[in-house]
Structure 1
Amino acid sequence: MTDRFTLAHRLSPDHFTTRLHADVRDGLTAAPKTLPPKWLYDTRGSELFEDITRLTEYYPTRAEDEVLDRHAADIARLTGADTLVELGSGSSAKTRRLLDALTAHGTLRRYAPVDVSPAALLAAGEALCRDRPGLRVAATVADFEAELVLPEPSGGPRLVAFLGSTIGNLPPARRSAFFSALRAALGGGDALLLGADLVKDPAVLLRAYDDPHGVTAEFNRNVLHMLNRELHADFAPGSFAHRAVWDAEAEQIEMRLRARTAQTVKLPPLDLSVDFADGEELRTETSAKFRRAGLTAELAHRGFGVRAWWTDERERFAVLLAVPD
């Protein structure tokens, strides 16, 4: 491995187990029952999500890619960033557009991906250092929801990218806290690049989260397989039906698993038995959809001014550039 790549670990060895136990205990004893959407993305879940992004019905990934293709050069020009930070970087695939644009602009010196997966960071770092001889990659294994970790400035502005509309998975209170923490960490000249899915025809949204091929249903039920594997639970995934529901008042899509019959599930490591009534639902994801005025106001309330707002041609998805006020 080149000396241009570093990998810092900010998570304790038992972080995964501790968080999973806490989230499952809290979520499955709540009313209604819930699980945080991050647990959908184990290895198999991540593979299924990649399949979802290629479905005709699932527009967000293609729409965001369209915006980045059209405006990466504008982003580089407006920010002049020498450090690109990416929260929840994964494979860093879509970030290559930004890396290319910032390199062409002549300012990029460092890429700082943050993710919970050391393997994903290592693979991405090796590939990027190989393909970009002048780039330094300073990766951090961290859970940005628990601790916001940003590299110190290195002489130039930082651009923090939070793409994929992951912001929609955070409930309003946690979203507000995230914006506040980010504002406190950023200084003059720094900027936030945020991907946000927009409110649109509910029929379009429902097709995106409940495709006719059953891929999203398999992705949703996979969280039960994960719980069986990690917690020795005895879920019967086939006894739960996938549902996507549009909450018009909250303007959010919810993914749920509905029990097809009354059943009891045991989770031995937690010394927990969970009863599901016939038809009872477990919410596995909440994905808020945004309007320009509302999101701009949210950011303003936490100290950010929106400097640029771009959408795809069909105005389904927005990528916005915000700066500390």
Structure 2
Amino acid sequence: MINVLSELAQHVADGLHRTPRALSSMYFYDDAGSRLFQQIMELPEYYPTRAESAIFRAHGAAIAAALRPPVGESYALVELGAGDGAKTKLLLRELLRTGPSFTYAPVDISAGAMTGLVAALHHELPALNVAPVVEDYATALRQLRDWPGSKAVLFLGSNIGNFGAAERLDFLRQLAAPLAPADRLLIGFDLHKDPRRIRAAYDDAQGITAAFNLNLLTRLNRELGADFDLAHWQHYTDYNPLDGAVRSYLVSTRAQQVRITALEETFDFAAWEVVHTENSYKFTLPQIKKIAAEAGLRVVTYFTDAAGDFADVVLAAQEE
């Protein structure tokens, strides 16, 4: 009989008993996974980071103006999944330059990533008031309801694409629920483009994305006492332009058994059986407007890079 399970253990138990088996990409981001993702963002194939940085450089002043409360009051800038904050620093500098005063509250599940970010911000932007939050998204969203005063919430990168349709709608509704009329969201959406470019961004030539995916098994070995042999697993990804989804998998390259001590259970994997680990959806601008409306949000404005690869969309609660 299994006693009280950790959140991760319960998720793995549920995911490995499904058909087909699946694990959530939210568990990619332990400290090692966060470091690997920083490397991914610098890869030549991984265009989203460069595209969004270009948006912030070209439109920083306009984005800052769209996020600030209209009456000049102090406010909180809350960023979900802050990572190393490289892109956000472009916006933070603009907000510091133009006022009014604000508090930056980066949220990240990785304590290591947060420690590095806070240290870098204290060094590079000493005037910035930082209130770090080491939590998962669900906890941070609950806390948003009690956040005093005006707020702007950032969800950058292409993270919104990691949710399936139902999960995405639920997540956006959770974001919309605590918003006052003057509050704003800024969400990054990766847009449709050449399917070959999209696929390459998730299967790079250096194998960093593969290491990122496989690191999930390393985490399960460490935290749950599993005995995944990484030599017999590989990363696979594909892109379907019909539904706009990149899907990533871990593939068992032989018939094998894996013991997970925390679950007191052994799992049998067939040769070439896959475990689904991540979706990354791509969008069109009309889709984004429709998705926002379903969640109780409206598009205030949006900004794209010159090539039209990516959009940062400013959203607000629907007017009653």
TM norm structure 2: 0.90
Distance 1:30 1:288, change over 3 A: same
Instruction: Check conservation: 2:29, 2:109, Cα contact below 8 A.
Output: no
Question: Does residue 1:244 correspond to 2:224, yes or no?
Answer: no
Specify every segment of 5 or more residues in structure 2 that has no aligned partner in the other structure, as ranges.
70-74
Which residue, 171, 185, 195 being the options, matches 1:178? 171
Counterpart in the other structure of 2:200: 207
The residue type paired with residue 36 of structure 2 is L
Question: Does residue 1:320 correspond to 2:313, yes or no?
Answer: yes
Note the alpha carbon deviations across 1:88-114, whole angstroms, 9 max, x for none: 112333211111111112223211122
The residue type paired with residue 148 of structure 2 is P
CA distance in 2 between partners of 1:213 and 1:136 (Å): 38
Question: Does residue 1:153 correspond to 2:153, yes or no?
Answer: no
CA distance in 1 between partners of 2:197 and 2:125 (Å): 39
Counterpart in the other structure of 1:68: 56
CA distance in 1 between partners of 2:64 and 2:134 (Å): 26
CA distance in 2 between partners of 1:119 and 1:208 (Å): 25
TM-aligned CA deviation for residue 147 of structure 1: 5.1
Counterpart in the other structure of 2:279: 286
Counterpart in the other structure of 1:261: 254
Q: Percent identity?
A: 40
TM-aligned CA deviation for residue 26 of structure 1: 0.9
TM-aligned CA deviation for residue 218 of structure 1: 1.8
Counterpart in the other structure of 2:72: none
CA distance in 2 between partners of 1:27 and 1:60 (Å): 29
Taking the TM superposition and a 5 Å limit, the aligned residue runs for 1:118-137 are: 118-137=111-130
Counterpart in the other structure of 1:113: 106
3-state SS in 2 of match to 1:185 = coil
Counterpart in the other structure of 2:133: 140
3-state SS in 1 of match to 2:87 = coil
CA RMSD in angstroms, aligned pairs only: 1.9
CA distance in 2 between partners of 1:242 and 1:128 (Å): 35
Q: How many residues align?
A: 308
Instruction: Check conservation: 1:255, 1:283, Cα contact below 8 A.
Output: yes
Taking the TM superposition and a 5 Å limit, the aligned residue runs for 1:265-280 are: 265-280=258-273
CA distance in 1 between partners of 2:84 and 2:202 (Å): 23
3-state SS in 2 of match to 1:145 = helix
Note the alpha carbon deviations across 1:146-183, whole angstroms, 9 max, x for none: 551226233xx321100011111112112111111111
Instruction: Check conservation: 2:76, 2:151, Cα contact below 8 A.
Output: yes
Counterpart in the other structure of 1:7: none
TM norm structure 1: 0.89
Instruction: Check conservation: 1:99, 1:108, Cα contact below 8 A.
Output: no
Instruction: Check conservation: 2:157, 2:188, Cα contact below 8 A.
Output: yes
Counterpart in the other structure of 2:36: 48
3-state SS in 1 of match to 2:55 = helix
The residue type paired with residue 153 of structure 1 is P
Counterpart in the other structure of 1:12: none
CA distance in 2 between partners of 1:45 and 1:123 (Å): 14
The residue type paired with residue 189 of structure 2 is A
3-state SS in 1 of match to 2:234 = strand
CA distance in 2 between partners of 1:243 and 1:119 (Å): 28
Instruction: Check conservation: 1:51, 1:215, Cα contact below 8 A.
Output: yes
